[in-house]
Amino acid sequence: MLSSAGFSNLPGRHSRLAVLAGLMASVMPVGASAQTTATKGSGADPTDIVVTAQRREQRLQDVGIAVTVVSGKQLQNLNITNATDIVRAIPNLKFNAYSSSQVVFNIRGVSQNDYGDQQEPPVAVYQDDSYASSINTASFPIFDLARTEALRGPQGTLFGRNATGGAVQFISNQPTDSFGGYVAGTYGRYNQTILEGALSGPVSDQLKVRVSGIYDHDDGYIKNITPGQPDRGANNHWALRGIAQWN
């Protein structure tokens, strides 16, 4: 690793000697550093980040494109519960919302200005390899995720013609070899209640399944003065997901 050093008030020959000494000190550790890295890279590292940005499992450092990965744990810590919330964790990723259900992602300024709900934006959105084909399907609750990947730049070779700006992938947790699961709940202002859970395990020697779901409800934050009518801005949705693996 190269480092820099600053010098001041070092006249003539002493200045040249000081600069030479500084450069030697900076360059000498490079060989040791590279050797350490090569030694670590010779075997499997449990801290490696594995992604599927190129339709196969690879270490993140081996992928030759600009990728940002947000793990499931990071999603939980950031309280990300909707696909659009991911912009808070990924640089260069924004979104335009034309209604509560019409969302267009924007990567490096590449987006679209046609707001027709039948249009396919230039940033492809995938859920477990399932393509969200219109702007009406790009905003959805996210739960029980292993990670989210954002790929910058044209991805048409692997993700189709509507990925000229990039692609965003949401990858779910997969079935496990042993039984397990979790239940989580959140309560907030405006009586917001979020319940999330998952159950995973083997059904037989060849079949493993994972079932997960989320329920999200609140009373709304805009007071409706019309008698007998609910407040506006309320949120009320639920989702279920099932994954099966046959070996």
pLDDT in the model for residue 167? 94
Residue 144 has what pLDDT? Answer: 97
How far is residue 49's CA from residue 23's CA, in Å, rounded to a whole number? 34
Amino acid 178 reads S
Q: Do 141 and 239 touch, CB atoms closer than 8 A?
A: yes
- Indicate the Cα dihedral angle 187, 200, 68, 57, nearest 10°: 180
Say if strands 192-202 and 207-218 run parallel, antiparallel, or are unpaired. antiparallel
Residue 100, number of CB atoms within 10 A of its CB: 9
User: 195: Cβ–Cβ under 8 A, 6 or more apart, which residues?
Assistant: 183, 184, 185, 214, 215
Region of 207 (left: φ > 0; alpha: ψ -120 to 50; beta: rest) is beta
Tokens of 152: 């910058």
And the tokens for 122?
């230039």
DSSP code, position 17: H
Structural domains of the chain, ranges and CATH numbers in brackets? 50-172 (2.170.130.10), 180-246 (no CATH)
Predicted pLDDT at 66? 87
Q: Is the pTM of this model over 0.75?
A: no
Contact 174, 146 (CB under 8 A): yes
> How many Å apart are CA 28 and CA 23, to the nearest integer?
9
DSSP H stretches of helix in 28-116: 29-41, 72-77
**Cα 247 from Cα 245, distance rounded (Å):** 6
- pLDDT for res 116: 73
Q: Which two tokens stand for residue 100?
A: 């509560």
pLDDT for 118 equals 74
| Predicted local confidence at residue 45, as pLDDT | 67
Query: What pLDDT shows up at residue 52?
Result: 84
Report how far apart the first and last C-alpha atoms of the chain are (Å, whole number).
Answer: 46
Structure tokens at 168: 């965003």
Question: How high is the pLDDT of residue 232?
Answer: 86
Please give the average pLDDT of every successive group of 10 residues along the chain, which has 247 residues: 39 42 41 36 64 82 86 93 93 86 88 77 92 88 95 90 92 96 94 96 96 94 88 89 96
The residue written with tokens 């990925």 in the block is 163
For residues 234 and 219, is the Cβ–Cβ distance under 8 A?
A: yes
**C-alpha–C-alpha distance, residues 42 and 44, integer Å:** 7
10 Å CB burial of residue 51 (0-12, 13-18, 19+) is buried
Give pLDDT, residue 58.
86
